Every structure is written in structure tokens, then in C-alpha cells.
Amino acid sequence: MAADFTAWVSTHQSLFEEVLKRLLPQAEVMPQRLHSAMRYSVLDGGKRVRPLLAYAAGELAGATAERVEIAAAAVELIHAYSLVHDDMPCMDDDVLRRGKPTCHVEYDEATALLVGDALQSLSFQLLSEHQLNDDATKQLQMVKLLAVASGSRGMAGGQAIDLASVGKQLSLPELEQMHIHKTGALIRAAILLGAYCGNKLSDAQLERLDHFGKLIGLAFQVVDDVLDCEADTATLGKTAGKDADNDKPTYVSLLGLAGAKEMAQRLHHEALETLGEFGEAALRLRELADFIVLRKF
Amino acid sequence: MAADFTAWVSTHQSLFEEVLKRLLPQAEVMPQRLHSAMRYSVLDGGKRVRPLLAYAAGELAGATAERVEIAAAAVELIHAYSLVHDDMPCMDDDVLRRGKPTCHVEYDEATALLVGDALQSLSFQLLSEHQLNDDATKQLQMVKLLAVASGSRGMAGGQAIDLASVGKQLSLPELEQMHIHKTGALIRAAILLGAYCGNKLSDAQLERLDHFGKLIGLAFQVVDDVLDCEADTATLGKTAGKDADNDKPTYVSLLGLAGAKEMAQRLHHEALETLGEFGEAALRLRELADFIVLRKF
């Protein structure tokens, strides 16, 4: 990884942490327990892959940081809410997330439920209360884009397919469908929303960018499955091997470890090709693609 | 109740049911179980008080039915999601809602969790994908309005205050704060969103309308507490007396049955006064205020 990229990542991760601290309701504001639990669930966690993708796409599209950071936060809040709900006993029943007790363990289940609900509302509040595009009609499209990516035809739908697949032998296309919804939709939304904050890109270019997002979103999941299979609890900060234990289909269970790694590399290669026409301007997106695929193996 | 009003209510309830059937994802569309559960949780239920308020406010503001019904659906989906989550074991643990098994009983808890999440996303999708105002900037304000009304400073926040109040002796102002958030925010949003679909009203008039919403939202909750105390399970279609059993503070527990009824009547009176300047054009809103306060006692 280029030193320059490492610096870019850590700068933006730090900046973004401050953005989130500012945008989340303060813990002193009533209802305090809910606000405290919202901050607990969002702050100080994760690599912020989606926000980084939004920043990189925003740079490509000539967007200001002030606009991109709001779009990035909106996407990250959706991601954070999905983790809180996903960890609950009726879903994955996880007690550890990013090395900390999950929200329902640290607080309680009812609070975790409300934290997720309120984070989703806050996400749409952010997208509507800040000016993110000179054209309000375009901004409404951004709201729609995130709503669709989050809903029953996007992330929540992917979770539902995931639930229905436990204990079943899925085909590769079926597994792909699940992940295109579950993880892919939000990664694509992050990239597009970042790009929508600027106005440099044509519709055809936005479409290429979306295709890049689709490929990299899938690669992200394949790598996740590989890591889940290889890593131990300490490294991942979550209970390792859990999907396999739950008898959930994964790319590793379908393709074997070597096959899954090969697939990740193929997707990575295709994703980089998709960025070809953008030249140097897409450097950060290219580096992020490397970052997503090459982390830890 | 005037025959004319009764007809207006039932016409709009029927029309609105068709609107919801059209706007909700079809049960045959993947993921089928999730979509089926979303339809189960929203369709064929309730008096549709919020949508009726939106229609009435829309009429006052000169909005077309095509616009108002989308805004009304957006609000009703938020309401429906909150009921699904509220009924879950970690919250109120209710098995019956509107005379039918609750979503997590008919389906399962994980599905109920996702149903709520996806209904919220769908609500914001509706508000952003249909044109609801000639001015897109105003429509973004509508998105913000619903997001704030749903979130941690609105409905979800009210739920959190409610959770924190179990077993506690609240003062009347504290109880009021809880309900202004929990029920009131969404009722106000219904009225304002209906009105925002038209363009006949001045800012000052919108403010009066909002004040009417605040009063009637509170009255709605007081009446709910009275009904909960008086009604039996059969009439309400939900487990009666549950709040009192759970040692939750209610207007009846604070003011007594007679005191609570008196408070409802006072709020009702004030609400009607607020509509004074609108004259005949506010007839439906006035009748709805009567409907809300006078149902069942």
C-alpha cells in the first residue's frame, strides 16, 4: 500500500470520526440513554470503507468535502443501524462487534432496536437537511437511491434472503443475489452518493462507477468469507467462523478457500478495468479496491 | 357523527387501502417472505387516522389526491413499522394487534425486525420518488420533516422515554413530553405533509395547523389511555389494560378516569378553536378532531 494512500485513509478516517461526532445527537440531549447508545454504536468503529468510497468518488466528481461528508455519514448510519439490528438475539445473536460488546449487550435489546430505527431516520434527515447538490431534484434522487439501497429490494432484502438460506445449499448465482443486496447495495450507494455531490460526471460515467461499485461490493463479501474462515476471534474483533457454524452458505463453502480467493482476485481485476477511462483521477478508488481485496491475505 | 363525514371517512379508508396495496412490494417479488410480511403488517388494519388527517389537511391546502395519498402512505408506513417493532418481545411483547397475530407471531422475530426496517426505508423512498410539490426544495423539507418526526427527537425518542418510564412516577409535564414525541410527532407530520402537498397556505397558517396537530395528537393519547382503561380485549383488538399492568404511567393513572376525560375535552376544544380562521374549509379536520376525541366514550 502506498504511503500516500495510507495517509489519505487515516486522514479521512479521522476527519470522518469528527463529522460523525458532530452529526450524531449529543449524549446529554434527551432521551439520553438512546442518544448515548446511538453514539456507542456508530463512533470509534470499523474501517469506514463506505465513507472512504464516498470521499473517493466525490473527489472524482469534483464535489466539496462539506457535501461528501454528509452523504458519507448518511450511508454509514445505515450501515451502523444494520449491524446493531443484525447483532440482536433474534438475528445473528452476536455479543462482540469491533472488539466491544454489541449494543444490546452494552445497553439492552429494546434500546438496540430503537437505536437502529433512529439511526435510519437520522440518515434520511441528513440527506434532506443539508444542501448536497445545486439541483434539489437531483438531491431527491439521492434520497431515493439510499432508500432503495436500504430497503426490501436492497440491504434489508438481502438480510431476508440470508435468513431464508440458513441450512440450505445455495447455488453460486443465488449466493451472489443475496450479497448483491445485503452488502453490495450500500457500497454502490456510497459511491454514487459521493459522486452525486459533485457535477463533473456524465450519466454514462456514473453508470461505470456504479458497475465498479457492484464488482467491488461483491469482492468485499468474498473477502469477508475468506477472512471469516481464516481469522481468529482476536484479529477480527467478532466471533470468527460464525457463518460456517450457523450453516450459512459462504463463498468458501461453495468454492473452497482457493476458489474464493481466486474469485476475489478476478472481481478486483474487473473492477480496476472499469475505472480505466477515468485515468489518474480515479487513483483513490483504485487504491480502495486494492485495500478491500488485499486486506489480510 | 354527520352521515356525510362517515361517508368521507369510509371512502377515503377504502381508497387508501388500494393506495397501500399498490405501493407496497407485491408478495410474489423476492424476497417473498419479507414482502408478504410487510403487506400483512400494513394492509387491512386500523382506522388510518394519520392518513385521514393528511387527506383533510391536503384538501385545506388545495393539494391533489395523487400527491396527498403518497404523503399519507409515507406516514402510515412509519406508523406501521413502529407498531411491528413495538410489539416485539423485547419491547411490549404483544401477540395481538388489530385482532390478528402480531407480525413476529405470524412470521418470526427476525422477519418482524426486517419488516420494520424495510417499511421505514420504503416510506422515505415514497417521499422522494414521487413529485409531491412543484418546488423540489420544499419536497426535501418534507423528507426532513418526516425524518425528524420519526427519529430520536420524535417517535423513536418517545418510545425510548416510554421505556425509561416503566415503574416510575412521572409528572404530568414529563408524561406530556413522552407523548408529544411518541404519538404526537407523527400526527403532526401527517397533517403538515398533507398540507405541504398543496400551496394554498401561508407559513403562519401552516403554523396554526401544526398547533392543531399538537393538540389533537395529545388528545389522541389521552383518549387512548381512557380507552385502554375502559375497554375489554374484544373491542380493542389488542390486550386491554396492558399499560396499567406494565406499571406504565398513563393519563388515567395520573389524573383519574374523570380527570383524563376532562383533559381530552379541553384539548379537543382548544384544537377546534385553533382552526377558527379557516372556516368551512377546515370542516374535515374539525370532524376528525371530534372523531379522535369522541370515539367510544
Say whether A145 sits in a helix, a strand or coil: helix
A140 closest CB neighbour out of B140, B156, B159: B140
> Pick from A150, A152, A159, A165: which is nearest to A120 by CA?
A150
| Region B45-72 average pLDDT | 96
Q: Residues 76 to 115 of B: which have CB under 8 A from any A CB?
A: 81-82, 85, 88, 90-91, 104, 108-114
Task: Say if residue B247's pLDDT is above 90.
Answer: no
pLDDT tops 60 at residue B66: yes
Chain Cα centroid distance, residue B248: 21
Scanning A87-184, the segments in alpha helix (DSSP H) are: 103-106, 109-129, 136-150, 155-165, 172-179
Strands A100-101 and A96-97: what pairing? antiparallel
Query: What is the structure's pLDDT at A297?
Result: 44
B186-197: average pLDDT: 98
Using a CB-CB cut-off of 8 Å, the residues of chain B touching A163 are 110-111, 114
Could you give the domains of chain A? 3-294 (1.10.600.10)
CB of A271 closer than 8 Å to CB of A213: no
Question: Which positions in chain B touch A122 (Cβ < 8 Å)?
Answer: 147, 151-152
> Contact A216/A292 with Cβ under 8 angstroms?
yes
With a cut of 50, say whether residue B297 has pLDDT above it. Answer: no
Contact B91 A108 (CB under 8 A): no
All residues of chain B having their beta carbon less than 8 Å from the beta carbon of residue A84 are none
Residue-wise over B228-266: b if at least 16 C-beta within 10 A, else e? bbbbeeeebebbbeebeeeebbbbbbbbeeeebbebbee
CB-CB contact of B88 with B53 (8 Å): no
**Res A45: pLDDT:** 81
Question: Cα distance from B50 to chain A (closest Cα, Å)?
Answer: 19
pLDDT score for A245: 57
Mean pLDDT of the region B47-65: 97
Nearest to A156 among B33, B118, B154 (CB): B118
Interface of A with B in 122-151 (CB under 8 A): 122, 124-125, 127-129, 135-137, 139-141, 143-144, 146-148, 150-151
Substitution target in B103, B114, B138, B155 with the highest count of A β-carbons within 10 Å is B114
Q: For residue range A2-40, list pLDDT tens digits in order.
A: 679 999 999 999 999 999 999 999 999 999 999 999 999
Q: Measured between alpha carbons, how far is B137 from B203 in angstroms, rounded to an integer?
A: 15
What is the structure's pLDDT at A242? 58
Q: Which of chain B's residues have a Cβ under 8 Å away from the Cβ of A35?
A: 152
Select the residue of A33, A141, A156 nearest B121 (Cβ to Cβ): A156
- Do B213 and B192 contact (CB within 8 A), yes or no? yes
Q: Which of A85, A121, A186 to mutate to test the interface with B (most CBs of B within 10 A)?
A: A121
Which secondary-structure segment (H or E) carries A97?
A: strand A96-97
Q: How many helices (H) and strands (E) does chain A have?
A: 15, 2
ipTM of this complex: 0.94
Residue B255 has pLDDT above 60, yes or no: yes
* Nearest chain B residue to A134, by CA: B137
State the pLDDT at residue B246.
60
Q: Do residues A84 and A101 lie in contact, with contact meaning Cβ atoms separated by under 8 Å?
A: no
Contact B50, B188 (CB under 8 A): no
Dump pLDDT digits (tens) for B11-30: 999 999 999 999 999 999 99
Low-confidence ranges of chain A (pLDDT < 70): 1-2, 232-247, 296-297
Ramachandran angles phi, psi of A101, nearest 5°: -55, 140
Is A82 in contact with A116 (CB distance < 8 Å)?
Answer: yes
**Residue that is written with C-alpha cell 403488517 in the block:** B41
What is the distance between the alpha carbons of residues A270 and A275, in angstroms, rounded to a whole number? Answer: 9
